[in-house]
């Protein structure tokens, strides 16, 4: 086969591939889904609690304007909604229901008061729905 014919054949093949790609472009991967605000908040809270030493506790406070609530349990029924359970200054059981976008929490790592056992915040996730 002559050099000219090889060049001609390669050009035809390249041109054919270009036309094929233009008519049938390769599928683009789907763009990554942005992580929800609720998922980020929850993962940060869990990471802070995992890093605690044996004599430390994570104190999560939510200021509601007139009161400050100490949070003992975080329930996430959906990525956009948080239900926070805790106690107010009078030790009354209090719940705060908030969207994850408007949630503001103050988190502190504190030493547990002797002889008390350190309190651990409970995290409750929704159960996946069966298909």
What confidence tens digit (pLDDT) does each residue in 20-57 have? 555 666 667 777 777 788 888 999 999 999 999 999 99
Residue 93 lies in a domain: yes
pLDDT, residue 10, reads 65
Q: What share of the chain is helix, strand, coil (3-state, %, to 5)?
A: 30, 30, 40
Mean pLDDT, the chain, rounded, equals: 84
Residue 115 lies in a domain: yes
Buried b (16+ CB within 10 A) or exposed e, 61-100: ebeeeeeebbbbebbbeebeebebbbeeeeeeebebebeb
Mean pLDDT (whole number) for 122-129: 80
User: 101 pLDDT exceeds 70?
Assistant: yes
Residue 101 lies in a domain: yes
Mean pLDDT (whole number) for 87-109: 93
Mean pLDDT (whole number) for 54-71: 92
Strands (E), the chain: 56-63, 68-78, 81-87, 93-99, 106-111, 122-124
Residue 82 lies in a domain: yes
Q: Which carries the bigger pLDDT value, residue 3 or residue 110?
A: 110
d(CA 42, CA 82): 9
* Residue with token string 């948080």: 82
Q: Reduced to 3 states, what is the DSSP secondary structure of residue 125?
A: coil
pLDDT, residue 66, reads 86
Q: Is the pTM of this model over 0.85?
A: no
The residue range of the domain holding 73 is: 52-124
Residue 74 lies in a domain: yes
Residue 85 lies in a domain: yes
How many structural domains is the chain composed of? 1
For the chain, the C-alpha Rg in angstroms (whole number) is 28
pLDDT, residue 74, reads 95
User: 16 pLDDT exceeds 80?
Assistant: no
């Amino acid at each position: 086969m002559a050099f000219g014919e090889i060049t001609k054949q390669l050009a035809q093949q390249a041109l054919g591939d270009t036309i094929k790609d233009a008519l049938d472009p390769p599928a683009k991967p789907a763009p990554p889904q942005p992580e929800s605000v609720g998922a980020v908040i929850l993962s940060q809270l869990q990471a802070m609690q995992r890093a605690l030493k044996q004599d430390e506790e994570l104190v999560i406070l939510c200021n509601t304007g007139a009161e400050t609530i100490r949070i003992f349990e975080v329930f996430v029924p959906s990525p956009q909604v948080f239900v926070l359970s805790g106690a107010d200054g009078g030790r009354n059981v209090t719940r705060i229901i908030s969207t994850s976008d408007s949630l503001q929490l103050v988190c502190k790592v504190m030493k547990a008061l002797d002889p008390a056992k350190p309190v651990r915040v409970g995290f409750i996730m929704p159960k996946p729905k069966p298909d």
